[in-house]
Amino acid sequence: MTETAVGSKSEQAYAAVKARIVEGTYTPGYRLVLAKIAEDLGVSVVPVREAIRRLEAEGLVKFERNVGATVSGIDPTEYLYTMQTLSIIEGAATALSAPLIDSVAIARARAVNAEMRDCLEHFDPVRFTALNQDFHSVLFEHCPNPHMLDLVHRGWNRLASIRASTFRFVPGRAQESVKEHEALLQLIESNADADTIEQAARRHRSATLDAYLAQAKSI
């Protein structure tokens, strides 16, 4: 979405494989055979190889010498690491964005959050997840530090491949989440100081992580 899909074949391969991972066509553990992907995309193996390496650098695939590439795993430990890191960076990005968020964006976020509430009533976890991403995007999209923003996006991409294959509602957590969203919006509207916003955003994510881990442990 944010990437230039066309251009070099390498870019093309990168975008195509990434999309398949993020949307869940290639599930974790899936074996990425260079020659096969190359044939599918109608290109040779060299650009595919390059694309795979880029995805490796982003943590979406694991590449083993003389063995091949597989879509990165989803074990709870990995999820913990990613979420913990993301909570910290996203918290900071949100705090940096906050002063730059105008009332139009706030209204948009509030509308998204209302839709999320609907999803809870109609039990639509897939849409809920998509909206959740939209909501948070509004919060951090004005972050003036592009590096930080890039890291946030990478984190979301990693989580996307996880969610696409394992998502389910953690009991009660989604309801909490929607409430916390509203609280966050009010903090931003009232021009709360950066530390307060950062802590709130971070705790919001950490709570989701804790809920997931508690459930993962109980299975």
In the complex, the residues that contact DNA under the rule CB under 7 A are 8-10, 32-36, 38, 42-47, 49-50, 65-69
Strand spans (E) along 119-213: none
Q: Which is nearer to a second copy, 49 or 142 (CB)?
A: 49
> Which of 102, 57, 108, 91 lies closest to 208 in space, CA to CA?
91
Where in 73-92 is the site for a second copy (CB under 8 A)?
80-82, 84-85, 88-89, 92
Distance of alpha carbon 112 from alpha carbon 132, whole angstroms? 8
Across 107-134, b (16+ Cβ under 10 Å) vs e yields: eebbebbebbbebeeeeeeeebbbbbeb
Residue that the structure tokens 């839709």 belong to: 115
Q: Can you name the residues that pair with 64 across neighbouring β-strands?
A: 68
Q: Which is nearer to DNA, 35 or 194 (CB)?
A: 35
Task: Please give the size of the binding site for a second copy, defined by CB under 8 A.
Answer: 24
Q: Which does 82 bind (CB under 5 to 8 A by kind): DNA, a second copy, none?
A: a second copy
Where in 26-65 is the site for a second copy (CB under 8 A)?
46, 49-50, 53-54, 57-59, 65
φ/ψ of residue 62, rounded to 5: -110, 135
Stretch 5-24: interaction string toward a second copy, x if CB under 8 A: --xx----------------
Footprint on this chain of a second copy (rule: CB under 8 A): 7-8, 46, 49-50, 53-54, 57-59, 65, 80-82, 84-85, 88-89, 92, 145-148, 151
